Amino acid sequence: MQFAKPVKLNDTQIYRWMVILLKRAKEIGDEGEVPVTAVILNEQGHCIGHGRNNRNKRSDPLGHAELVALKQAAWMKNDWRFNECTLIVTLEPCQMCAGALIQARMGKVIYGAKDLKRGGLGGSINLSTHKSAHHKMLIQGGVMGEEAKNQIEEWFAHRRNKTIRL
């Protein structure tokens, strides 16, 4: 099985996108939503879909940033296949989102913080390398990982009115 050939982004481009996503995640966190945001870039590096968690706001169990971005990008592309695309997200996709990304044949996934409890691309389980996966994605984790991890930990600590354990 061959890997997809998504758009090539240099470290500066990836960093710029992650800065934008983390800033937006902070804004939605201030609104009471879990601070996770995502963007999908096409083969030219243009944004064709963006998403933010909206489970609380819309009472939608499928309101994960990755799924919102996928739906928008599919509409923009008029296709459900994303072999040449790259998804950038502030938190490692959960198992549900990782499964959707495999089904959508996403070319590459870049994420910030690893999710050791629910991560579907290596944090808890790696669905992209499972023998049942019909599509292999390129995965790059830990981009601004400390910043992303701190942001989400602080949000949950504030939400639970507890102090952060270091």
Q: What is the pLDDT along the chain (166 residues), one digit of tens a residue?
A: 555 567 788 999 999 999 999 999 999 999 999 999 999 999 999 999 999 999 989 999 999 999 999 999 999 999 999 999 999 999 999 999 999 999 999 999 999 999 999 999 999 999 998 888 888 899 999 999 999 999 999 999 988 875 555 4
Q: H-helix or E-strand containing 140?
A: strand 138-140
What is the Cα–Cα distance from 166 to 22, expressed in whole angstroms? 21
pLDDT at 27: 96
What is the Cα–Cα distance from 92 to 95, expressed in whole angstroms? 9
Nearest residue to 107 (alpha-carbon basis) of 81, 131, 125, 130: 81
Q: Is 66 among the residues known to form the active site?
A: yes
pLDDT at 8: 84
Residue keyed to tokens 């592309």:
77
Q: H-helix or E-strand containing 54?
A: none
What is the Cα–Cα distance from 19 to 121, expressed in whole angstroms? 22
pLDDT at 165: 54
Residue keyed to tokens 């890997």:
3
Count CB neighbours of 50 within 10 A: 19
pTM of the model as a whole: 0.92
pLDDT at 20: 98
What is the Cα–Cα distance from 148 to 65, expressed in whole angstroms? 15
Q: Which of 33, 66, 84, 92 is catalytic?
A: 66
What is the Cα–Cα distance from 25 to 148, expressed in whole angstroms? 9
DSSP designation for 107: S
